[in-house]
């Protein structure tokens, strides 16, 4: 059933008062000592507001994260005190903006342990970073009959660029599906690899299944057959320690807006020797060495791939986000999120008629702090609408840019609750109570 209303009619509204948190309604862990969620929430002004008369519970972090005051201040300072174009001017403001922009690049490099900041290319987002590799490396290195191995759980931004490149080059895309536990089948992936495989492109953490892939192993197997690896780290870099040298991946991409930074900026990590051999993706100012009327020569990476005026303020904001995350510690963030992930999964599993996608957490299986789910006979968009309008709980519904995976699972859409370190077990309790109310609301129409 899909009741696609934009606003719930007043006659259908809940009048039931929302339970206020009391010491006894807080989870045991939260009454003992303040958790990371409680200690960091004050840093996020946006979380302290009411939506439709209820306290906001923001559980749409896999789509985008909120920004701490430190990032808002960094953006404000940049525009108020030293806004200027980079790399072009000799004046004070331009030099200061250039230093800040290049410092942000160094911060990204340190954050993911790249050996040189020149291995970091700023892009608009992860999608653009994948397109950069597809158009530059892909069109140059792939030819008819070459194989690119992917999983069916890739985000559209890690599928469509490769389809375009395959159409242009005659390369073949080979997709790995899921095991019975609903994780991408890593053994099947290993068997697919051959001397024809030129590239393996895959996510680190799934934005729908919450599963985590063993990238280090996969990179070893891919390199064994001479293939390169691109890791979509959109859902891992914000949540755990990611070390490109120990993963030994060739390319890795992520977006700033999912890791407490501004929208409009993301990055590509590429091994120096690969970037050095790649042609430009976009042409224009900043990416050239010399321009003649009939031809141009190009700058060294990363400038070669940063045509035009970059997102300077956004880079500064991303740098501030990295300082903020590093100040907390990525290992601490990860450990807290694993606890939240288990609590979310365990609580949601107890709700009748709910189907959660992806593997069950166990001693050996760590899930990310998100759950994609469906409730029998209720459309996920109806659930998300009531949660928002009646309870102030923000979740996402739809295909989460993973239509092939939804099709494989036999569904068109799902609901997704996704957490970050500023969420608490109490947020999960609020979500579960609101979901139970929503289910009884719809059940009353049956």
Ligand X SMILES: Cc1ncc(COP(=O)(O)O)c(C=O)c1O
Please list the active-site residues. 401
- State which of residues 66, 98, 255, 397 lies at the interface with ligand X (CB under 6 A): 255
Nearer Cβ to ligand X (68/266): 266
| Spatial separation of the C-alpha atoms in residues 168 and 23, rounded to whole Å | 61
Nearer Cβ to ligand X (347/397): 397
Nearer Cβ to ligand X (256/347): 256
Q: Reduce the DSSP state of residue 372 to 3 states and report it.
A: strand
- State which of residues 67, 87, 155, 304 lies at the interface with ligand X (CB under 6 A): 155
**288 has which bridge partners?**
298
Nearer Cβ to ligand X (211/235): 235
Is residue 381 within 8 Å of 413, Cβ to Cβ? yes
Q: How far is the CB of 255 from ligand X (least distance, A)?
A: 3
Radius of gyration for the chain, computed over Cα atoms and rounded to the nearest angstrom: 23
Nearer Cβ to ligand X (35/148): 148
Any contact of residue 207 with ligand X (CB under 6 A)? yes
Identify which of 370, 427, 391 has the alpha carbon closest to the alpha carbon of residue 37.
427
Is residue 247 within 8 Å of 219, Cβ to Cβ? yes
Per-state percent for the chain, helix, strand, coil, to nearest 5: 45, 15, 40
Any contact of residue 211 with ligand X (CB under 6 A)? no
Q: How many residues does the chain have?
A: 446
- State which of residues 119, 146, 232, 430 lies at the interface with ligand X (CB under 6 A): 232
Which of the stretches 49-57, 133-141, 153-161, 368-376 binds ligand X when contact is defined by CB under 6 A? Answer: 153-161
Q: How far is the CB of 49 from ligand X (least distance, A)?
A: 24
Is residue 359 within 8 Å of 414, Cβ to Cβ? no
Residues numbered 42 to 81 that lie near ligand X (CB under 6 A) are 62-63
Residues numbered 387 to 406 that lie near ligand X (CB under 6 A) are 401
Contact string (CB under 6 A) for ligand X, positions 258-297, x = contact? --------x-------------------------------
Q: With CB under 6 A, what is the number of residues at the site for ligand X?
A: 16
The alpha helices in 170-257, defined as continuous H runs, are 186-192, 215-224, 244-247
Any contact of residue 235 with ligand X (CB under 6 A)? yes
| Spatial separation of the C-alpha atoms in residues 83 and 86, rounded to whole Å | 9
Give the pairing of strands 120-123 and 266-270: antiparallel
Identify which of 237, 244, 231, 423 has the alpha carbon closest to the alpha carbon of residue 330.
237
Nearer Cβ to ligand X (205/432): 205
Q: Reduce the DSSP state of residue 445 to 3 states and report it.
A: coil
- The pair of structure tokens assigned to 33 is 């000592």
The helix/strand count (H/E) of the chain reads as: 16, 17
Which of the stretches 78-86, 228-236, 312-320, 359-367 binds ligand X when contact is defined by CB under 6 A? Answer: 228-236
Which of the stretches 8-16, 69-77, 229-237, 320-328 binds ligand X when contact is defined by CB under 6 A? Answer: 229-237
Which strand (E) or helix (H) includes residue 406?
A: helix 403-408
Rounded to 5 degrees, φ, ψ at 182 are 65, 45
Any contact of residue 234 with ligand X (CB under 6 A)? yes
Which of the stretches 25-33, 155-163, 274-282, 424-432 binds ligand X when contact is defined by CB under 6 A? Answer: 155-163
Is residue 429 within 8 Å of 27, Cβ to Cβ? yes
- State which of residues 67, 87, 107, 203 lies at the interface with ligand X (CB under 6 A): 203
Any contact of residue 236 with ligand X (CB under 6 A)? no
Residues numbered 82 to 141 that lie near ligand X (CB under 6 A) are 125-127
Nearer Cβ to ligand X (233/434): 233
Which of the stretches 232-240, 286-294, 297-305, 405-413 binds ligand X when contact is defined by CB under 6 A? Answer: 232-240
Is residue 158 within 8 Å of 184, Cβ to Cβ? no
Interface with ligand X (CB under 6 A): 62-63, 125-127, 155, 157-158, 203, 207, 232, 234-235, 255, 266, 401
């Amino acid at each position: 059933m899909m009741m696609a209303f934009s606003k719930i009619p007043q006659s259908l509204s809940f009048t039931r008062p929302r339970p206020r948190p009391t010491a006894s309604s807080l989870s045991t862990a939260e009454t003992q000592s303040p958790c990371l969620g409680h200690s960091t929430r004050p840093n996020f002004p946006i979380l302290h507001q009411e939506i439709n008369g209820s306290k906001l519970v923001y559980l749409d972090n896999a789509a985008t994260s909120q920004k701490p005051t430190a990032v808002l201040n960094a953006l404000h300072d940049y525009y108020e005190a030293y806004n200027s174009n980079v790399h072009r001017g000799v004046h004070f403001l331009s030099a200061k903006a250039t230093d800040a922009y290049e410092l942000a690049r160094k911060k990204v490099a340190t954050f993911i342990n790249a050996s040189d900041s020149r291995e970091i290319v700023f892009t608009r987002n992860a999608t653009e970073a994948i397109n950069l590799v597809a158009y530059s490396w892909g069109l140059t290195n792939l030819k008819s009959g070459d194989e690119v191995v992917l999983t069916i759980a890739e985000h559209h931004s890690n599928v469509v660029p490769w389809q375009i490149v395959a159409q242009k080059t005659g390369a073949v895309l080979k997709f790995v599906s899921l095991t019975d536990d609903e994780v991408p089948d890593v053994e099947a992936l290993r068997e697919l690899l051959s001397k024809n495989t030129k590239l393996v492109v895959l996510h680190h953490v799934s934005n729908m299944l919450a599963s985590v892939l063993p990238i280090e192993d996969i990179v070893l197997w891919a390199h064994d057959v001479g293939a390169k690896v691109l890791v979509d780290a959109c859902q891992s870099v914000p949540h755990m320690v990611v070390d490109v040298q120990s993963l030994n991946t060739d390319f890795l991409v992520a977006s700033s807006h999912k890791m407490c930074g501004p929208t409009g900026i993301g990055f590509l990590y590429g091994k120096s020797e690969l970037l050095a051999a790649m042609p430009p993706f976009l042409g224009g100012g900043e990416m050239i060495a010399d321009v003649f009327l009939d031809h141009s020569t190009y700058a060294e990476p990363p400038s070669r791939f940063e045509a035009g005026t970059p997102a300077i303020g956004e880079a500064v904001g991303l740098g501030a986000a990295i300082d903020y995350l590093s100040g907390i510690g990525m290992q601490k963030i990860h450990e807290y999120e694993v606890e939240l992930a288990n609590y979310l999964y365990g609580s949601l599993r107890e709700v009748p008629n709910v189907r959660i996608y992806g593997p069950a957490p166990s001693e050996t299986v760590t899930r990310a702090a998100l759950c994609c789910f469906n409730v029998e006979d209720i459309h996920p968009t109806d659930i998300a609408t009531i949660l928002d309008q009646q309870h102030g709980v923000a979740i996402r519904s739809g295909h989460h840019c993973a239509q092939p995976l939804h099709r494989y699972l036999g569904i068109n859409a799902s609901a997704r609750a996704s957490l970050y370190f500023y969420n608490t077990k109490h947020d999960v309790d609020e979500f579960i109570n609101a979901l139970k109310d929503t289910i009884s609301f719809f059940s009353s129409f049956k």
